[in-house]
Amino acid sequence: MLREITLGQYYPVDSVIHKMDPRTKLFATVIYILSIFCFRGPIGFVAITAGLIAVIYLSKVPFSFMVRGLKAIVFILVFAGILNLFMTPGRELISIWKFTVTYEGAKSASLMLFRMIYLIIGTSVMTLTTTPNQLTDGLETALKPFAKIKVPVHEIAMMMSIALRFIPILVEETDKIMKAQMARGADFESGGIIKKVKSMVPLLVPLFVSAFRRANDLALAMEARCYHGGEGRTKMIPLHYEHRDKVAYVVVIVYIVLIFILRKFA
């Protein structure tokens, strides 16, 4: 179950999207996220969907792979959906026993689900087509102006890239410890909320211990390879824009204008 999390996984194929400069992809992703929060009307929805499908197609990453990221948050989706569905006051749509579904509730629930799902898929496109190192390189360069006001941009970027590398390892580790404790009769499923929280202790303590041990080891290994912060560091893959990036920027700008116009007329 835990292995299903695709966050931070890179899918190595050769595509236009893969080759693009990470800054271009970051910019496009930010615009995309903004667009799913401020679009209006069904035509706007169609435009966003079309854009997303086009990018997924170009990325050559199987669609099933992107959707897998959703599985991990199905619970949250359902929970938030139900909450929205029943808790929003307004005109009555249907009423079942004590619960009333309002017209507004149905609308806000479906809008919320759409946003969450599109958010996950959209950001998956980004992480699946960009190696974590490129991603953090992109972030580091994009955030460089903030370094002037003493924001530790390089350190943040490095931490992110390490976090991304270790997420799958820690996920696997969680799985292993969980199994080991289950073999000792631990029960992670039954019981009330307090019992459940308590039953997590045998899982969480070893997990933290292991995370600290790994962090310690990794720090040593980095030091041994002469790591000493961002100063004087060169880049294996220096970032520079190619022709395709310029095209991509033009496409993104057209997209912004389109969403804006559709918003006006919706």
Partner 1 sequence: MSFIEAKNLVHEYIMRDDEGNVEGVQVALDDMDLNVEKGQFIAVLGHNGSGKSTFAKHLNALLVPSEGTLFVDGMDTRDESKTFDIRQKAGMVFQNPDNQIIASVVQEDVGFGPENIGVESDEIWTRVENSLKAVGMWKYREHSPNKLSGGQKQRVAIAGVMAMEPECIVLDEPTAMLDPDGRKEVLEAIHKLNKEKGVTIILITHYMEEVVDADYVYVMDQGKVVMEGTPTGVFSQVETLKEYRLDVPQITLLAYELKQQGVPLRDGILTREEFVQEMDRICR
Partner 2 sequence: MSLILDNVSYVYSQGNAYEKKALDGINLKIEDGEFIGIIGHTGSGKSTLIQHLNGLLKATDGKIYFDGEDIYDKDYELRDLRMQVGMVFQYPEHQLFDETVFKDVCFGPRNQGLPEKDVQLRGYEALKNVGLNEKYFDVSPFELSGGQKRRAAIAGVIAMKPRVLILDEPTAGLDPRGKDEILDMIAANHQRYGNTVILVSHSMEDVAKYVDRIIVMDDGKIKYDDEPREVFKYYKELEKIGLAAPQVTYLMNDLRENGYPVSTDVTTVDEAKSAILKLFKIQT
Which residues here bind partner 1, judged by CB under 8 A?
Answer: 8-10, 12, 131-133, 161-162, 164-165, 168-169, 213-214, 217-218, 220-228, 232-238
Per-residue tokens: 13: 């194929």
**Binding-site partner at residue 233 among partner 2, partner 1, none, CB < 5 to 8 Å by type:** partner 1
| Closer residue to partner 1 (CB): 50 or 159 | 159
| Closer residue to partner 1 (CB): 47 or 164 | 164
**Binding-site partner at residue 179 among partner 2, partner 1, none, CB < 5 to 8 Å by type:** partner 2
At its nearest, how many Å lie between partner 1 and the CB of residue 220?
A: 6
DSSP assignments along 188-229, one per residue: SSSS-HHHHHHHTHHHHHHHHHHHHHHHHHHHHHHHHTT--S
Per-residue tokens: 180: 């080991």
The stretch near partner 2 (CB under 8 A) out of 42-50, 133-141, 171-179, 223-231 is 171-179
Here's the x/- map for partner 2, 185-224, by CB under 8 A: it reads as xxx-------------xx--xx--xx--------------
**Binding-site partner at residue 84 among partner 1, partner 2, none, CB < 5 to 8 Å by type:** none
| Closer residue to partner 1 (CB): 51 or 132 | 132
Among 183, 193, 224, 236, binds partner 2 (CB under 8 A): 183
Round to whole Å and give the CA distance between 19 and 34.
24
Counts for the chain of helices (H) and strands (E), in that order = 12, 2
Return the ∠ at Cα 63 (arms to 48 and 116), rounded to 5°: 50
Residue 77 engages partner 2 in binding (rule: CB under 8 A): no
Among 91, 98, 148, 184, binds partner 2 (CB under 8 A): 184
Round to whole Å and give the CA distance between 54 and 255.
12
DSSP category for residue 184: T
Here's the x/- map for partner 2, 12-51, by CB under 8 A: it reads as ----------------------------------------
Return the ∠ at Cα 61 (arms to 57 and 64), rounded to 5°: 100
Per-residue tokens: 211: 């995370």
At its nearest, how many Å lie between partner 2 and the CB of residue 210?
A: 6
Is the torsion defined by CA of 26, 27, 32, 35 positive or negative?
Answer: positive
Among 109, 177, 252, 258, binds partner 2 (CB under 8 A): 177
Residue with tokens 């530790």: 152
For 205-243, b/e burial (b = at least 16 CB within 10 A) is: ebbeebeeeeeeeeeeeeeeeeeeeeeeeeeeeebeeee
Residue numbers of the site for partner 2 (CB under 8 A)?
62, 64, 173, 176-177, 179-187, 201-202, 205-206, 209-210
